[in-house]
Amino acid sequence: MNYFLTEEQQFIREISAKIAKEKILPVRAELDEAQEFPWEIVKVLADSNLFGVYIEEKYGGTGGGVLDLCIAVEELSRVCGGISLCLAATALGTFPLILFGSEAQKQKYLPGIAEGKKIVAFALTESGAGSDAGAIQTTARREGDYYVINGTKQWITNGGEASIYTVIAMTDKARGSRGASAFIVEKETPGFTFGKKENKMGIRASATRELIFQDCRVPVENLLGKEGQGFIVAMKTFDASRPGVAAQALGIAQGALDEAVTYARQREQFGKPIISFQGIQFMLADMATKVEASRALVYAVARAVDRGETKIAKESAMAKLFASDMAMQVTVDAVQILGGYGYMKEYPVEKMMRDAKITQIYEGTNQIQRTIIASHLVKEQAGRK
């Protein structure tokens, strides 16, 4: 289907697909098993300018937007959802800089990110603050020209591997979520260390680590926006980044559909390929329809973000919700179509099913997405009266 992509976007799709097939496919199982961060792939993506597709040209990017990022993430995730996160999670950590960074901050950090020399992580979640982002306990206390950060962040994608971290901490606990602020923290900052690397069910080629701050002194100029804007920074970041999670889910689902169709054409039972059986045909037809519907929604929302639409939270949540639920269903169905083979690690669909699950959880669980969508529906209805 023609999604009215520009020549540049078509090129992004082609180069991403080429990298996925030639560089990621041969190593995806090995990196998944070893839980090894894909630094060689990072270099390839950097050399292909994919880290800069959503960054303005004046900061070293290619001047695209969220749709360009989604196209790249989709194609990489079609082969490996875990490896694609080195790019997608860097974008998540970079959006706070793009949206709220000062000109000096952008000039300092964005060129290295666009070149792929610096990967980034976003640090909001804690052991007691996931869906309830306002419950974070990490603090940042102003002392002269520095903020002193203390606390622990949990389940941070790219943790330990990233050079730059955007961190949400409380500067005034008495104000609740309005007392949170956002900071740029560099990896080598004294007082900033890492805890355990998580042993995960899926996305195992992506590093997920605990971040530990013990009297970590961050210069005042590393404050993003103003004090008390941390929660706004996080929410606006998610509005821009959730289409990227949806694109990851979309790519995983498309990859699973590809594998299911290929297998169904080759596998014979009762003297004929199983794709000739109506039961299998109907499963594949439903899978393909859901994938295509998700793609239309993801691209539409990404375009809305790129147009600068500010009231996008509902639609962004819808894209993430629909695509991730779809990916979970499609990958489960792909395993079912492959039968016993689908359950074996020699075939990729079991990995795709494992990878798909996290897309229903991170950057806001799908229950939270439904809450966001419903709250906006209530407000919109009230506004019509």
Model confidence pLDDT, tens digit, residues 4-31:
999 999 999 999 999 999 999 999 999 9
Q: Per the CATH hierarchy, to which homologous superfamily does domain 231-384 belong?
A: Butyryl-CoA Dehydrogenase, subunit A, domain 3 (1.20.140.10)
Helix, strand, coil percentages (3-state) for the chain, rounded to 5, are: 55, 15, 25
Categorize the per-residue pLDDT at 310 as very low, low, confident or very high, splitting at 50, 70 and 90.
Answer: confident
Q: What is the mean pLDDT of residues 148-153?
A: 98
pLDDT at 176: 86
- Whether this prediction's pTM lies above 0.75 is answered by yes
Categorize the per-residue pLDDT at 77 as very low, low, confident or very high, splitting at 50, 70 and 90.
Answer: very high
Q: What is the mean pLDDT of residues 263-283?
A: 97
Share of the chain above pLDDT 90, in %: 95
Q: Is 348 helix (H, G, I), strand (E, B) or coil?
A: coil
Q: What is the mean pLDDT of residues 180-192?
A: 98
pLDDT at 49: 97
pLDDT at 382: 86
Closest to 291 measured CA to CA, from 313, 261, 267, 317: 261
Tens digit of each residue's pLDDT (9 = 90 or more) over 35-66: 999 999 999 999 999 999 999 999 999 999 99
pLDDT at 177: 85
Categorize the per-residue pLDDT at 2 as very low, low, confident or very high, splitting at 50, 70 and 90.
Answer: confident
Distance between CA atoms of 228 and 239, rounded to whole angstroms? Answer: 19
Which tokens hold the place of 64?
A: 């695209």
What are the sequence ranges of the domains in the chain? 7-119, 121-228, 231-384
pLDDT at 3: 85
Q: What is the mean pLDDT of residues 191-202?
A: 97
pLDDT at 134: 75
Tens digit of each residue's pLDDT (9 = 90 or more) over 244-264: 999 999 999 999 999 999 999
pLDDT at 364: 93
pLDDT at 194: 98
Kindly tell me if the per-residue pLDDT of 354 is higher than 90.
yes
Distance between CA atoms of 244 and 238, rounded to whole angstroms? Answer: 10
Categorize the per-residue pLDDT at 379 as very low, low, confident or very high, splitting at 50, 70 and 90.
Answer: very high
Distance between CA atoms of 30 and 346, rounded to whole angstroms? Answer: 11
Categorize the per-residue pLDDT at 102 as very low, low, confident or very high, splitting at 50, 70 and 90.
Answer: very high
Share of the chain above pLDDT 70, in %: 100
Closest to 194 measured CA to CA, from 170, 169, 158, 166: 158
Is 363 among the residues known to form the active site? yes
Mean pLDDT of the chain: 97
Q: Is 319 helix (H, G, I), strand (E, B) or coil?
A: helix
Neighbours of 198 (CB within 10 A): 18
- Any idea which of 133-137, 216-220, 247-251, 334-338 has the lowest mean pLDDT? 133-137
The helix or strand, by DSSP H or E, that contains position 259, with its residue range, turns out to be helix 230-266
Which tokens hold the place of 223?
A: 């404050």
Burial pattern 276-306, b for ≥16 Cβ within 10 A else e, equals eeeebeebbeebbebbeebbebbbebbbbbb
Question: What sign has the CA pseudo-torsion 192, 193, 198, 203?
Answer: positive
Domain boundaries 7-119, corresponding CATH code: 1.10.540.10
pLDDT at 222: 98
Which tokens hold the place of 88?
A: 């997608």
pLDDT at 23: 98
pLDDT at 13: 98
Architecture of domain 121-228: Beta Barrel (2.40)
* Burial (Cβ within 10 Å: 0-12, 13-18, ≥19) of residue 157: buried
Among candidate residues 30, 188, 363, 380, the one labeled active-site is 363
Closest to 320 measured CA to CA, from 298, 351, 290: 298
